[in-house]
């Protein structure tokens, strides 16, 4: 249950960063978005492996 909430939290953060990226097209925001996106991808892979 807690794991699911954590995954949801990361997805929400990712969506917020996408909005920021669209509003302000700056390299700093893009780099931040890129790092979080990759981290979320790894987190999702671990989450999916644990689920099944």
Cβ proximity of 47 and 3 under 8 Å: yes
The residues, ordered by sequence, that sit 6+ positions from 21 with a Cβ below 8 Å of its Cβ are 29, 30, 33
Q: Which pair of structure tokens corresponds to residue 9?
A: 């939290």
What pTM did the predictor assign? 0.35
Predicted local distance difference test score (pLDDT) of residue 19: 74
3-state class of 30 per DSSP? Answer: helix
Distance CA 52, CA 48 (A): 7
Q: What is the pLDDT along the chain (52 residues), one digit of tens a residue?
A: 566 777 778 888 888 877 776 666 666 767 777 778 777 777 767 766 765 5
Domain ranges of the chain: 2-51
pLDDT of residue 38: 78
């Amino acid at each position: 249950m807690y794991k699911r909430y954590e995954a949801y939290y990361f997805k929400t953060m990712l969506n917020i960063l996408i909005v920021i990226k669209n509003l302000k097209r700056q390299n700093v925001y893009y780099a931040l978005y890129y790092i979080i996106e990759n981290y979320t991808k790894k987190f999702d892979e671990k989450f999916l492996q644990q689920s099944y």
